[in-house]
Amino acid sequence: MMTSFYHAHLTLVIGGTRSGKSRFAETLCSRLQEQTGLAVTYLATAPELDEEMKARIHIHRERRPGHWITVEETSRVAETIRSHPNVQGILLIDCLTLLVGNWLYEEQTVGQESSLEERIQKRADDLLAACQEYPHPVVIVSSEVGLGIVPASKEVRDYRDALGLMNQRVARCADAVYAVISGIPIDLKQWEVRL
């Protein structure tokens, strides 16, 4: 049952690769649009790096309803939420996985005195603040990357750690969190154990 979503301001939908998380998030937004009459803005974070990514992006575009608004931003998502004229109504951010990767790439190429972790943390704080300030429901899609083996390279470990910490922060702030496994959504807040 998706009842907790309908009262949620911030919802996180998380899952593995090809788990059905994006499709579930799109369905949530469609249902909410039916109930409220609000527009849906799809904020896409995927850069078109190669032909395979272009094909994936094309599949996502084709699957979305034609009347949804699409805004593409691979890095400055908080600023986009606050100031882009086309961001309106229900906001679907797909996905945090690529966004954090984009941030890491940018931050590693910038010589600054603060640590990489501190700079990513600052961007994360800004994104969460923008989502909490936004007047309508926000649905964020992300991947769970912490269930596999420890990556061999430092860069991939840094990415896994940054995304894992970001997912935890968003989940703590979210009113609803759904894990999608093999196309089946599970309401994690319903099963949450508090110690």
44: annotated binding-site residue? yes
Residue 190 CA to residue 74 CA, distance in Å, equals: 32
The answer to whether 16 is annotated as binding is: yes
- Please, are residues 175 and 11 in contact by the beta-carbon 8 Å criterion? yes
* DSSP code for 145: -
Supply the DSSP symbol for 12: E
Amino acid making up residue 36: T
Positions marked catalytic: 60
Task: Tell me whether residue 21 is annotated as binding.
Answer: yes
Q: Please indicate if the annotation marks 63 as binding a ligand.
A: yes
Long-range pairs of 2-5 with CB within 8 A, sequence gap ≥ 24 = 2/28, 2/31, 2/185, 2/187, 4/175, 4/176, 4/187, 4/189, 4/190, 5/31, 5/32, 5/176, 5/178
Element (H, E) at 107: helix 96-108
Determine whether the annotation assigns residue 15 to a binding site. yes
Q: Is 144 annotated as a binding residue?
A: no
94 labelled as ligand-binding?
yes
Confirm or deny that 19 is annotated as ligand binding: yes
Binding residues: 15-22, 44-46, 61-64, 72, 94
Binding residues for GTP: 15-22, 44-46, 61-64, 72, 94
